[in-house]
Amino acid sequence: MTELPIRTCLPAGCVVPIGLDQTSVDALRAGTTLTLTAKASDTEQDVAFTISLNGFSAGLDRVEALGAN
C-alpha cells in the first residue's frame, strides 16, 4: 500500500498527484476495478472507493496517441 498526501482540495473534491510505473499501468489495463482507501477528514475513518476500469485502456491509448502528435 502506498500513502499519498492530498495536495489540493476544491469544491468538487481533492487532487492527489500520482505517478504510475509500467507494472501499475499493466495491472490497471488488466483489471476491472480499482479500490482506493482514504481517511475521512472529520473522523479519520477509512473510506473505500471502488472505481470501474471500464474504458481505462481505450482512454489511455487515446491520451498516448494525442501526445505522440
For residues 16-21, give the mean pLDDT: 84
What is the dihedral sign for C-alpha 59, 63, 66, 68?
Answer: negative
Q: What pLDDT, on the 0 to 100 scale, is given for residue 5?
A: 67
Q: What pLDDT, on the 0 to 100 scale, is given for residue 20?
A: 87
Q: Is the pLDDT higher at 8 or at 55?
A: 55
Pairing of strands 46-52, 13-15: unpaired
Task: Provide the residue ranges of all domains of the chain, joining segments of one domain with +.
Answer: 16-68
Tens digits of residue pLDDT in 24-38: 999 999 999 999 888
What is the dihedral sign for C-alpha 12, 18, 22, 27?
Answer: negative
Distances (CA, A) of 45 to 2, 6, 49: 17, 16, 13
Write down the pTM of the prediction: 0.70
Angle (nearest 5°) at CA 22 between 17 and 25: 65
